[in-house]
Amino acid sequence: MNRLLLAILALLGLLQYRLWVGENSLPESFQLQEQIQLQQESNAKLLERNQVLKEEILDLRRGTEAIEERARNELGMVKQGETFFRVVGEPQRDGDINR
């Protein structure tokens, strides 16, 4: 009976060791689950960004309105016959808005 009890305790100790310290242990499993969650969040952000870029590409391919808007905003282009006005002033501070 003593040998059987010792064998069971040794087996239990071995299983506990593998559970907490050995390969594929519980802490390692939790760490991998956390890494998977972070990677999924990163992938979701990248998919969202890719979708925005795809929509922008399609918009640029379809018509001239998007191209014209980008040219006006990024390059400062003006159509013939239009007058361009630039308002120059000091940038407002957060405290100035409340006055």
51 pLDDT exceeds 90? yes
What six digits make up the tokens of 55? 């929509």
Average of pLDDT values for 80-84? 82
Tracing tokens 């519980």 back to the chain, one arrives at 26
Task: Between 64 and 30, name the one with better pLDDT.
Answer: 30
Q: Domain segments of the chain: what residues?
A: 2-77
pTM of the prediction?
0.50
Q: What average pLDDT does the structure give for the chain?
A: 84
What distance in Å separates the CA atoms of residue 17 and residue 72, rounded to the nearest whole number? Answer: 67
User: Do 79 and 71 form a contact (C-beta atoms < 8 A)?
Assistant: no
